[in-house]
């Protein structure tokens, strides 16, 4: 019991997330994590019934962090520019969203049919939030959905492909992408707001 109080369940979750991102789901093993944390596996069972319970916590953390960041940004207060800036901050890695974790969970899902269903639900929730972000622009509902999907799928593909581009170039592209994703060119004032927010 003394040993079990050294670490919290969150310590094990954090170690599991690191292993998942760095080495894949096969590395998320109780003995390996215990060695990394410098404890015996008895500490693990103080917090979790089994490995599956830990895996469920990893997925909960992923969903809360990554889906939460995207949905929160898309539904944040303000107008389309404020929300576009918030969403762009996620893509640039300036908010909670962790692209490496998203890629790791998707790789895990390729060999886990049950997880693919959860991934699909998360993708749908994210796209729905982006679609709601675009709706005030007054586009045809079908076009709004397709633009939301294009924005989201392109960005997920960007992370999956591990595109290597300097941050300055990525930031500079955010203004041109506004026209592609939103369906109109930003006004001079909107352009200035986007540039100022992302170059501070």
Q: What is the pLDDT of residues 97-130, one digit of tens each?
A: 999 999 999 999 998 998 999 999 999 999 999 9
Q: Select from 66, 149, 53 the least CA-distant residue to 104.
A: 66
Per-residue pLDDT tens digits for 128-171: 999 999 999 988 888 999 999 999 999 999 999 999 999 999 99
Are 4 and 90 in the same domain? no
Tell me if 54 is assigned to some domain: no
Are 31 and 104 in the same domain? no
Are 167 and 90 in the same domain? yes
Q: What is the mean pLDDT of residues 76-104?
A: 93
Are 98 and 120 in the same domain? yes
- What domain range includes position 18? 1-48
Per-residue confidence band for 200, with pLDDT thresholds at 50, 70 and 90 = low
Cα–Cα distance between 64 and 104 in angstroms, integer? 15
Q: Are 85 and 194 in contact (CB under 8 A)?
A: yes
Tell me if 95 is assigned to some domain: yes
Q: Are 135 and 74 in contact (CB under 8 A)?
A: no
Percent of the chain with pLDDT over 70: 97
Q: Give the total number of structural domains in the chain.
A: 2
Q: Residue 34 is part of a domain; what is its CATH number? A: 1.10.10
Are 99 and 178 in the same domain? yes
Are 32 and 76 in the same domain? no
pLDDT at 5 over 80: no
Are 112 and 13 in the same domain? no
- For the chain, how long is the longest CA-to-CA vector? 63
Per-residue pLDDT tens digits for 17-76: 999 999 999 999 999 999 999 999 999 999 999 999 999 999 999 999 999 999 999 999
Are 101 and 25 in the same domain? no
Tell me if 53 is assigned to some domain: no
User: CB-hemisphere CA count at 13 Å for 169?
Assistant: 4
Q: Select from 183, 175, 174, 176 the least CA-distant residue to 137.
A: 183
Give burial (CB, 10 Å; 0-12/13-18/19+) of 98.
buried
Are 13 and 106 in the same domain? no
Cα–Cα distance between 120 and 102 in angstroms, integer? 13
**How many other C-beta atoms are found inside a 10 Å radius of the C-beta of residue 4?**
15
Are 78 and 144 in the same domain? yes
Are 43 and 99 in the same domain? no
Tell me if 116 is assigned to some domain: yes
Q: Considering the entire predicted model, what is its pTM? A: 0.91
Cα–Cα distance between 200 and 194 in angstroms, integer? 10
Tell me if 185 is assigned to some domain: yes
Are 44 and 93 in the same domain? no
């Amino acid at each position: 019991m003394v040993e079990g109080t050294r670490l919290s369940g969150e310590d094990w979750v954090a170690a599991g997330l690191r292993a998942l991102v760095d080495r894949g789901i096969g590395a998320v093993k109780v003995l390996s994590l215990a060695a990394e944390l410098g404890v015996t596996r008895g500490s693990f069972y103080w917090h979790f019934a089994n490995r599956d319970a830990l895996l469920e916590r990893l997925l909960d953390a992923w969903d809360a962090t990554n889906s939460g960041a995207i949905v929160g940004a898309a539904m944040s207060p303000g107008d389309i520019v404020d929300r576009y800036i918030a969403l762009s901050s996620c893509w640039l890695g300036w908010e909670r969203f962790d692209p490496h974790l998203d890629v790791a969970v998707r790789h895990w899902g390729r060999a886990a049919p049950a997880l693919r269903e959860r991934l699909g639900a998360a993708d749908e929730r994210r796209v729905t939030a982006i679609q709601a972000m675009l709706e005030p622009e007054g586009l045809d509902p079908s076009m709004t959905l397709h633009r939301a999907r294009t924005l989201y799928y392109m960005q997920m593909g960007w992370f999956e492909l591990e595109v290597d581009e300097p941050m300055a170039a990525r930031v500079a592209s955010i203004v041109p992408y506004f026209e592609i994703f939103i369906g109109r060119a930003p006004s001079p004032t909107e352009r200035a707001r986007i540039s100022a927010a992302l170059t501070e």
